[in-house]
Amino acid sequence: MRVVLTTYRGLAHLMPGYMELHDRYFNIPVTLSAEEDYSNGKYRFLKPPFGDPILNGAFGDSLRWTLEQVKDKYIIIMLADYFINRKVNVNTLKKIGQYMTKEGDILRCEIGTNRGLGQLDEVDTYKGVSIREDKNWLATSLCPGIWDRKKLLKIIKGATAWDVELATNREFLNTDWRSVGVYPEPIDYENVIRERKVGEFINKKHFLLTK
């Protein structure tokens, strides 16, 4: 299992903050997919042949190409503006991977906060992990989740990030696969762009400095 971190030039200024928090709280390998190596050699770097994925409307193509290059059975898609708040229990993530393998029909498991997983009914437990499920609620969001890489490659559609979520979700609803979540969520994070908290989050909460 590894993180696939997708980003672009417009979020490059967030990379120092993302890397600092990932290295502090999240002990798992990272593959960076972008038009330039914004990690300065820290992460495994893959350069999709589509240029800037946002300017060129090629987010879906870039993500699909990247998923074809990595070999891990399960991947965690992260974006550069997902800033982690606290230590991630990697052992819980391993249990989730084991559960997905045991069940065999799960495309994705939601693992991040801010999606209201505590409101969903518990449908199962596995080695102390509470499994929540609602196919329409969880679907194929690009919020932090563990994906079955080969399953995702079969249905991923769309150009922009938003298109990928919607178009891939339509494909997903035509399958017999499941989308589940766990509670409590292993990854406590904030979307610092959406919440307009970049300066506050970096400078006050985690004492980081970026441009």
What's residue 9's pLDDT? Answer: 85
The per-residue DSSP string of 73-122 comes to SEEEEEETTEEE-S---HHHHHHHHHHHHHH--EEEEE-BSSS-GGGSPE
**pTM of the full structure:** 0.88
Name the residue among 7, 160, 147 with its Cα closest to residue 74: 147
Domains belonging to the chain, first-starting first, are 2-205 (3.90.550.10)
pLDDT per residue over 80-117, tens digit each?
A: 999 999 999 999 999 999 999 999 999 999 999 877 78
Q: Among all chains, which residue has been given the structure tokens 């059975």? A: 73
What's residue 188's pLDDT? Answer: 94
Name the residue among 98, 110, 87 with its Cα closest to residue 1: 98
Encoding tokens for residue 32?
């960076």
Encoding tokens for residue 64?
């699909």
Measured CA to CA, the distance from residue 127 to residue 209 in angstroms comes to 40
What's residue 32's pLDDT? Answer: 95
What's residue 194's pLDDT? Answer: 56
**149 within 8 A of 72, measured Cβ to Cβ:** yes
Give, for all 211 residues of the chain, the pLDDT tens digit.
999 998 888 888 889 889 999 999 999 999 999 999 999 899 999 999 987 777 677 888 999 999 999 999 999 999 999 999 999 999 999 999 999 999 999 999 999 987 778 888 899 999 999 999 876 665 788 899 999 999 999 999 888 888 888 888 889 989 999 999 999 999 999 888 754 555 554 444 443 433 3
**Residue type present at position 167:** A
Name the residue among 49, 21, 156, 179 with its Cα closest to residue 109: 179
What's residue 199's pLDDT? Answer: 52
What's residue 39's pLDDT? Answer: 92
Q: Among all chains, which residue has been given the structure tokens 């196919």? A: 135
Measured CA to CA, the distance from residue 135 to residue 143 in angstroms comes to 15
Measured CA to CA, the distance from residue 97 to residue 109 in angstroms comes to 9
Encoding tokens for residue 38?
């914004």
What's residue 138's pLDDT? Answer: 56
Q: Among all chains, which residue has been given the structure tokens 């120092």? A: 16
